[in-house]
Structure 1
């Protein structure tokens, strides 16, 4: 028999992915676009910020569309890894 609080914890986990994870993903992608887009910095920042709204909404939709909360966490981690790695490498002199 399942514990009665288990469904609430699964929904809370998905909500955390949607709210906090969406913010983290949007910020990572916005910063990565601002750093890597081959155009003047102000335009790159503006494009990154505009794209961050769509990314945030996409993560929020994904958090509740996948089959389980574990899959939502895996998708979030997989989606945040490329921009995080690109930012790390570009700010630590590898691709300066």
Structure 2
């Protein structure tokens, strides 16, 4: 594979990671905050959902910046996967463990 093609594939992989992976991490963060804020701080569920949604815009922007600041596309994907796995675990604990708002 030529160096030019390898570079283009790396940029394409980062673009997919930024768009799809960033969206996934942002959506998970919105769900975790919407369930976690009422459970941890006694916040109203409607306010927690709004706060989680607004915070997800910041999470998405940071995820996109992370993807293009990482040394390689592999590290970018790995970072997003770790963030998604941690948030998914929190989400699973709150929904299965009964810790979330019912």
**Structure 1: tracts of 5 or more residues without a match:** none
1:8 is matched with 8
1:47 is matched with 51
Tell me the matched-pair count: 95
- Correspondences of 1:3-82 after superposition (within 5 Å): 4-37=4-37, 38=41, 39-82=43-86
**Structure 2: tracts of 5 or more residues without a match:** none
Residues 1:89 and 2:63 are matched in the alignment: no
Q: Deviations over 1:36-88 (max 9, x none)?
A: 10311011011101100000000111111111000001111111122100111
With normalisation by structure 1, the TM-score equals: 0.90
With normalisation by structure 2, the TM-score equals: 0.86
Structure 1 residue 27: Cα displacement: 0.3
Aligned-residue CA RMSD in angstroms? 1.4
